[in-house]
Amino acid sequence: MAVRRTAFIRARKAAGFTQESFAEAMYVDRSTVARWETGTREPLPHQRPKLARLLGISTDELAELLSPVAIQPWPAHASDDEQDALELVRRINASDVGQETLERLEAAVDDLAIAYPRTPPTALLGRVRQHLGYVTRLLDARKTLAEHQRLLVVGGWLSLLGATVHIDLNQSSAATARLKTAASLARHAGHDEIRAWVYETEAWRTLTDGDHDKALELSRTAKAIAPADGSAAIQAAAQEGRALARLGRRSEAYAAIQEVQRLAAGLTRPDRPEHHYRYDPDKAVAYTATTLAWVGDPAAEGYAREIIRRLGAGDDPTTWPRRVASANIDLSLALLTTDRLDEACGHTLRAITSGCVVPSNHWRAAEVVHAVEARGLPEAVELREAYEEMVRL
């Protein structure tokens, strides 16, 4: 049964942290810190050394702060009503799930989100499906209310990630089903961060389908829902800027870029910046490059080159393959605006032949191919052949 951990709260305040600043230092949502303090959620094992370090205590002292308060045995002379209440408490605390299982599932969600940027979509989808199947079985098992809540959150994140991979593979029906499941689980769990990501993810899909007005509406809905201290708020603002760029609303697109840069300015780089659902400063640079490229601003060149410099590793950008491929396409669009056509063709060819442009992004490469063909460049033939080969694979 959840018990307010007053000593833990006192230790956090004594260390000079608010819930918000403590969450930022731990790279978690404020709601996660709140759940630690109410006892409805336990810190994961790998988080505990850093927790102790921030609080200025030993790990043993931390374990004592987090230890549950034992329920006192009921008197032997209790009335029938009291015994009924005791039986209810016993049933609420009965579980076939367990703390260790939940911690491993929550760690698996992080591992999959970290693997997303560099794992082929079909391979990642298989792993997501396996974990979702296990969560589904656990939802039918006996568990506490707190465990049920945590399972809903795990299922929400996994469904959201599954939907994202389906979108990458242009599997529209499956993506829709996964997004609906993620939204439903998020509502039941009261998890606004997941709900906001659902709308942002749908905004991206709608943008790739060419419905820019709908993408703008979905992005703004995501912004309205997203907790102010979460990553979804920044991502939704970035998606809004891209939708405005496609609509040709330049001044509003520039305002969105400034908002993203303002929101990202106070961020420190996370320990694992590859995590798809944790915003890092480099992502803001990448979205700025795309937005500027789409409004035809030559300034996109500098941002795209910065992403390639930061994240690329020569011809083998193994850590951020998709982001580097997208940056090469953005750079190509910027170069086309300044008539550096040969160089634009080279960067697009590098992106296409990298094997890191997922099906949902083929249209972005196609825009450059069409522009090169329209100008009658001799490189257009090679570029078209490479593009067609990429689409066939």
Say what the pTM is.
Answer: 0.72
Full DSSP string of 200-263 = HHHHHHHHHTT-HHHHHHHHHHHHHHS-TTSHHHHHHHHHHHHHHHHTT-HHHHHHHHHHHHHH
Domain with CATH 1.10.260.40 in the chain: 1-67
pLDDT (tens, 9 = 90+) of the chain, 393 residues, equals: 445 678 888 888 888 888 888 888 888 888 888 888 888 788 887 888 888 888 888 888 888 887 654 334 434 444 455 445 544 554 555 577 888 889 999 999 999 999 998 888 999 999 999 999 999 988 888 888 889 999 999 999 999 999 999 999 999 999 999 999 999 999 999 999 999 999 999 999 999 999 999 999 999 999 999 998 889 999 999 999 999 999 999 999 999 999 998 988 877 777 788 899 988 877 888 899 999 999 999 999 999 999 888 876 544 445 678 888 899 999 999 998 888 988 999 999 999 998 888 888 898 889 889 988 888 888 888 999 999 998 887
CA-closest candidate to residue 63, choices 145, 17, 5: 5
Per CATH, domain 192-271 is 3.40.50.2000: no
CA-closest candidate to residue 135, choices 119, 122, 120, 147: 147
Domain with CATH 1.25.40.10 in the chain: 192-271
The total of other beta-carbon atoms located within 10 Å of residue 64's CB is 12
Q: Which fold has domain 1-67?
A: 434 Repressor (Amino-terminal Domain) (1.10.260)
d(CA 205, CA 184): 19
d(CA 304, CA 166): 27
H runs (alpha helix) in 118-168 = 121-139, 145-168
Dihedral (Cα; 269, 271, 274, 277), 10-degree rounding = -80
Q: Is 216 exposed, middle or buried (0-12, 13-18, 19+ CB in 10 A)?
A: buried
